[in-house]
Structure 1
Amino acid sequence: MLVPQTSIPEVLLRGSIMYLMLFLALRYLMKRHAGQVGIADILVIVLISEAAQNAMVGEAKSLVEAAFLVGTILFWSYVINWLSDRVPFLRSLGGGDPVPLIQDGRFNRRNMDRELLTEDELMSQLRQHGIERVAEVKRACLEPDGNISVIRVRGGDEQKPAGRTRGI
């Protein structure tokens, strides 16, 4: 139990190589335009961690196999993101349209129920952005990325703050 099955230098070398490869791949291939991580990104990270884990502890036959597997996952992630940016049909599969939650100072209860948002949760999001009353909101929408965008009633004070509405 306390005696390693693989030599310590090999573990250090495998871990170092996989870390550097993953660091470079995630740093340069997984940039998000809005600085946010979506469900697809989390899926890629989970798949990569599973593929890389075997290479780091020596269960994979070679580091090259693990590197090709990680590369394949990153390749498909890139291709799907690239296609989603260029093909409207694929873009709509990725998230859909914003869902109106408040219109002209009134809650849209049907949409709130469909999105499983309570009035208290929505008011909490509004307060985080300096809005105390729903009457101050011209329009608020749940965006496809999970943020709530808000436009105030007054034309000169229109803002579009965003806040996370739920964890992943």
Structure 2
Amino acid sequence: MNPYLDIVLRSVVVYFFMVIVLRVFGKKELSQLNTADVILILLISNSGQNAMVGNNSSLEGGLVAALVLFTFNHILKKVMYKSKTFNDLVQDKPLILIHDGKIDFKALTKLEISSNELDEVIREHGEENYKAVRLAMMEIDGNISIISGDKNLKQTHCKRKIHKLVGNSNN
């Protein structure tokens, strides 16, 4: 087989494997960036590279693999944009965590978000407690958006992503 065709096929398989794994492990896993997660990302990228290019460590091989990844990412985004069914298969939906000061404990349990984590995010958005929150949503990118206030609605979006608290007994 042509060595570059081999790289193309390997790259496509690795790309789809990563999409499936990220879908299975969920958006909260994407938002966790502690030391262990950074190490995991580095190791995955190294093993992914090895799986894509095999023994070919040439510049051309690396460029072919990168081009395939960019191309398939572009195609995947276009297909997701055009097909709601495919988009729903690949991406999770946003979930309501708090509505009018009432916490949805089923959603928190499903996402494995502790009360301490939720309290932390609420404070980061400038609110004292959940009762002041009109709407809190776990977005598809793993961030939590909060809308608060009475007459003068105030929306904040915290760029810091939530992380699992290590050793927390409230999980």
Over 3 Å counting, the alpha-carbon distance change for 1:93 and 1:166 in structure 2 is farther
Aligned CA RMSD, in angstroms, stands at 3.2
Q: Does 1:149 align with 2:145?
A: yes
Give the structure 2 partner of residue 129 of structure 1.
Answer: 125
Give the structure 2 partner of residue 97 of structure 1.
Answer: 93
Give the structure 2 partner of residue 31 of structure 1.
Answer: none
Q: Is the 8 A contact 1:95 1:145 kept in 2?
A: no
Cα distance per residue 1:73-101 (max 9 Å; x no partner): 22111111221122211222232221111
Q: Is the 8 A contact 1:47 1:73 kept in 2?
A: no
Q: Secondary structure at the match of 1:156?
A: coil
Aligned residues: 124
Query: 1: CA distance between counterparts of 2:86 and 2:68?
Result: 21
Q: Is the 8 A contact 1:48 1:73 kept in 2?
A: no
Query: 1: CA distance between counterparts of 2:57 and 2:130?
Result: 60
Q: Mapping of 1:5-20 within 5 angstroms?
A: none
Q: Secondary structure at the match of 1:155?
A: coil
Give the structure 2 partner of residue 68 of structure 1.
Answer: 64
Q: Does 1:165 align with 2:162?
A: yes
Structure 1 stretches of 4+ with a deviation exceeding 6 A read none
Query: 2: CA distance between counterparts of 1:152 and 1:61?
Result: 53
Over 3 Å counting, the alpha-carbon distance change for 1:108 and 1:62 in structure 2 is closer
Find the structure with the greater CA-based Rg. Answer: 1
Q: Is the 8 A contact 2:53 2:61 kept in 1?
A: no
Q: TM-score, normalised by structure 2?
A: 0.60
Give the structure 1 partner of residue 109 of structure 2.
Answer: 113
Query: 2: CA distance between counterparts of 1:71 and 1:130?
Result: 43
Query: 2: CA distance between counterparts of 1:54 and 1:115?
Result: 36
Identity of paired residues, percent?
22
Q: TM-score, normalised by structure 1?
A: 0.61
**Stretches of structure 2 lacking an aligned partner (at least 5 in a row):** 1-28, 31-40, 165-171
Give the structure 2 partner of residue 88 of structure 1.
Answer: 84
Over 3 Å counting, the alpha-carbon distance change for 1:113 and 1:54 in structure 2 is closer
